[in-house]
Amino acid sequence: MRIKANTAAIILPVLFIAGIILSSSIGYWQTESSKEPSKYTEGIFEGEANPADIRGSYSFSDLEKAFDIPVATLAKAFGFSASENPEEIKIKEFEELYGVIEDLEIGTGSMRLFVALYKGFPFEAEEDTAIPMPAWNILKKEGSTDTGILETYSSRIVSLESFETSGNNTLTETEHNETESVIKGKTTFSELLDWGLSKEQINKIMGIEMGATGLTVRDFCSDQGIEFSTIKEPLQKLLDNM
């Protein structure tokens, strides 16, 4: 049976639209990529989002929605406490900003590993996957993974002290500090937060609200008429006991 041209011109668009509606209703039609990772389909974590499916295009905000980990925690873990808009930071930026440190890489795999250890989910990371020091400190305090399992990743820890993040998410190199978590004259409030101290702990020791994250502790103390050494020692003691 032949269909006239003018009839076909009407029928074909209708069929196309109907196909889209049907595909959309059953989940096959997507106009943009999904920012929701796949879920575990069996076992005790069935129904939970799977960190192995985290993509480089995911932002901190996407991860907060998928895994219920606050953006502030994710930002602190990866050295972005001083960022003005941490919720917009995307995982794919890690490799460009940090790259390879001590033969280990901070990239999408690092975020997958951090989320898995934080939530206590099973995950097998690549051998060159790094864990930033701030992330390690958070995992020790807040993570759901058994301590014994967590310690198997202790050799993956890398320092972020040779980098300084700014509000627009660019990095500039600074003098490398070979000793981890040691408070010095150039130590900033941002570094204290990245090393694992909370704002409340810092405020309690200082007796006043801490300064802007980009300020050094010494300069802030000088402006406030506080002896730096009286603040440095108790803060260092907190860090040493973490």
CA atoms of 72 and 70, how far apart (whole Å): 5
| Mean predicted lDDT score pLDDT of the chain | 80
Q: In the beta sheet, which residues pair with residue 44?
A: none
**Predicted local confidence at residue 25, as pLDDT:** 46
157-158 and 171-173 beta bridge pairing:
unpaired
Using the structure block, give the residue that is written with the tokens 């995950």.
123
Every domain of the chain and the residues it spans: 35-177, 181-242
The answer to whether the beta carbons of residues 219 and 186 sit under 8 Å apart is no
CA atoms of 242 and 230, how far apart (whole Å): 20
Distance of CA 53 to the CA centre of its chain: 15
The answer to whether the beta carbons of residues 77 and 138 sit under 8 Å apart is yes
Q: Is 111 left (phi over 0), alpha (psi -120 to 50) or beta?
A: alpha
What pLDDT, in 10s, does the model give residues 51-79?
Answer: 999 998 999 999 999 999 999 999 999 99
**Predicted local confidence at residue 138, as pLDDT:** 93
Of the pLDDT bands very low, low, confident and very high (cuts 50, 70, 90), residue 32 is: very low
Q: Which helix (H) or strand (E) holds 104?
A: strand 104-106
* pLDDT above 60 for 168: no
Handedness of CA 99, 100, 102, 104 (dihedral sign): positive
